[in-house]
A = this chain, B = another copy of it.
Amino acid sequence: MTKQIYRRRQTVRPTAHSGEPTNGPLTAEELQLAVRNHSMPLEALRSEITPPGLHYILTHFDIPYIDEDAWHLRIGGAVRRSLEINLKALRRDPVISVPVTLECAGNGRSLLRPRPLSQPWRLEAVGTAVWTGVPLAYLLAHAGLEDDAVEVVFTGADAGVQGGVTHQYARSLPIKEAMRPDVVLAYEMNGSALPPQHGFPLRLVVPGWYGMASVKWLESIQVVTHPFEGFQQSVAYLYQRDANDAGTPVTHIRVRSLMIPPGIPDFFTRSRVLPPGPVLLRGRAWSGEGAVKRVEVGIDGKWLPAHLEQPSAPFAWCEWTLPWVADPGEHELACRATDATGAVQPLEQAWNYQGMSNNAVQRVKVSVQ
């Protein structure tokens, strides 16, 4: 719980990023973010459930320290009964476990030209976990939504400054999304208490949405009668053409597939070497907009259909495989998924100002020798 109040008069027009996108070299600020926030090494795509410590993490501010015994969740606003619930009480409520693939909305940002200045993800800001807790809809029904409720605002304990605005991290969901039966207030990740960096003691998990919706370190849930206009809702996480574009909100995860790079890496360049002969190309694919229907693997520009496994849950990734007989020489491998809406990963990424939802096909160069 952040009891201290940090407020400054807002003196600059808030923007999500610090400075205009650049074609210049990586900055010291980007490196600071890259070392704080964790990617999932692509070899972890082998696991249906990402092993502990390998799931991606993006923490806007600091990981807050929460005293479990003093902590409670406040539910209020446009509800019939305001609630204050501690963890012990939450654990007595109905429980669901949902396997969910979460991906950062900024995944792939550092590959854009020009490059928006923020967390410089490459491809690996993803992970899948089983989240266990109370269905949000159960608690909202228990509190009783007023008729004029339009959104639910989730506020975390994590506080900081972004775009000149001091705030606690907060995001909203429309009522319809909040009442989905699979949206969970999770107190366990893969059967253990949430680790600090994943939102201990309680976080929201919104299957199918990019990670920014799944607010960590929850302190309060407020039902509101007007759309929420907090920084992380109305300034950050927008598709914008430029700084002056009002933009549209980032919501669901776009279809994507990734491959485990085959062979062995060079330590510094990460270029791949493998021996000639049969190799099973494999990876996973997911979409927040509809089931993955097809994965194609590109080998030197020729696309072949991969075998697709069923996912363990609607918003969990599915495995794909393709046997390949590698012949000596230099090759470029790629993978490309299509979902039930017909959306397919682009070969070249469409650009937007904040570098959001980059799902261009991954390309892996390998040297067979």
Contact = CB atoms under 8 A, between A and B. Distances in A.
Copies of this chain, complex-wide, total: 2
Nearest to A47: B196
A94 to B, nearest CB: 27
Interface of A is mostly: loop
A57 B41 CA distance: 11
B31 A26 contact: yes
B62 A43 contact: yes
Contact of A51 (B122, B197, B270): B197
Interface residues of A, number: 65
A274 to B, nearest CB: 8
Contacts of A166: 264, 273
A54 interface: yes
B4 A275 contact: yes
A285 to B, nearest CB: 20
Nearest to A54: B197
A273 B6 contact: yes
A147 to B, nearest CB: 37
Most buried by B among A8, A17, A38: A38
A120 B192 CA distance: 32
Contacts of A55: 53
A3 B65 CA distance: 45
10 contacts: A8-B273, A31-B120, A31-B122, A32-B270, A35-B122, A51-B195, A54-B196, A117-B268, A118-B268, A163-B267
